[in-house]
Structure formats: structure tokens, C-alpha cells
Structure 1
């Protein structure tokens, strides 16, 4: 995950859903402890677009990876343009 840390990213379920398309996405990170009902639409869209999904143990850990001071349920890492 460290290789993704400095990549362009979108943090949050709603923001990730808006930005997701298979051409620009490198991978989708999902916190294992996020509420399923919140993240399921994002997981479904990622599978439809064949975007790699990486599961992170906790929302806190995903927040740290994203360099934010709070937890995150999801983060979309984008390919470098």
C-alpha cells in the first residue's frame, strides 16, 4: 500500500462513486470494518468496471494511508496522468 500513498486519490464513498471509471482507476481500497450497506454500491460498480479492490483492515488504517486525520470507508486511487 505504501506505493499508492503518494498517488492521486479520491477519499470517501460518494466521491469515489462519482469519479470511478475503469480508465482512470488504479485500485479501490475498502475498509473491512466499514458498513456493508454504505460500501456495497461502490464494490458493485468496481466489479462491473473490473477495477481492482484492495481490502484494508480498518477505517483508521485507510485514513492514515490517505493522509487524513479521520477514518475512511473507501478510497479510490487513480492512475497517474
Structure 2
């Protein structure tokens, strides 16, 4: 899965929204920014692993934000089923 897929996909953005969607079983794959705070990302990453959801690492929050077509960086985003 690539960042290009986020541009046209039905998605959620942000740690809290992605976590809610993962818990409800609505997520196909999750994108996490490598430069985001590890203590924020770790619980979400472990949740995805426990639910067998693909996690894609992105280099920067800025890149993830741009792929989601928002003007700020994003620590996490997810493509919905």
C-alpha cells in the first residue's frame, strides 16, 4: 500500500480517529509517520498487530498530511474498508 492510495480512499486521520476505527473493525490498512512520538504510535501499532491490520511506515508527518490533503502533518491515517 502506498501514500497514493490515501488520496482517493475513504479514510480517517489522526491517532484517536484511527484507533476508534481499528477497534470497530473498519480499517483495511494504517499509515504511521516515523517522526511522530513513539509513545503515541506504539499502542496503535500494537493494536493493529493484534488485529492483523497492515501497518505502513511513512518517513514524515508532513508527507502523511499531504497525502491526506490536509495542511498540517499527521501522525496516523487509515484507509477504511
Q: TM-score, normalised by structure 2?
A: 0.90
- C-alpha deviations, 1:16-61, integer Å up to 9, x for none? 1111148432210000100000111110100000000000110000
1:22/1:49 contact within 8 Å kept = no
Q: TM-score, normalised by structure 1?
A: 0.90
Q: How far apart are 1:4 and its partner, in Å? A: 3.0
Q: C-alpha root-mean-square deviation of aligned residues, in Å? A: 1.4
Match of 2:26 among 24, 27, 41: 24
After superposition, residues 40-59 of structure 1 pair within 5 angstroms as 40-59=42-61
Distance in 2, matches of 1:3 and 1:10, equals 13
Higher helix share: 2
| Range with greater deviation from structure 2 (2-11 or 58-67) | 2-11
Give aligned pairs, total: 79
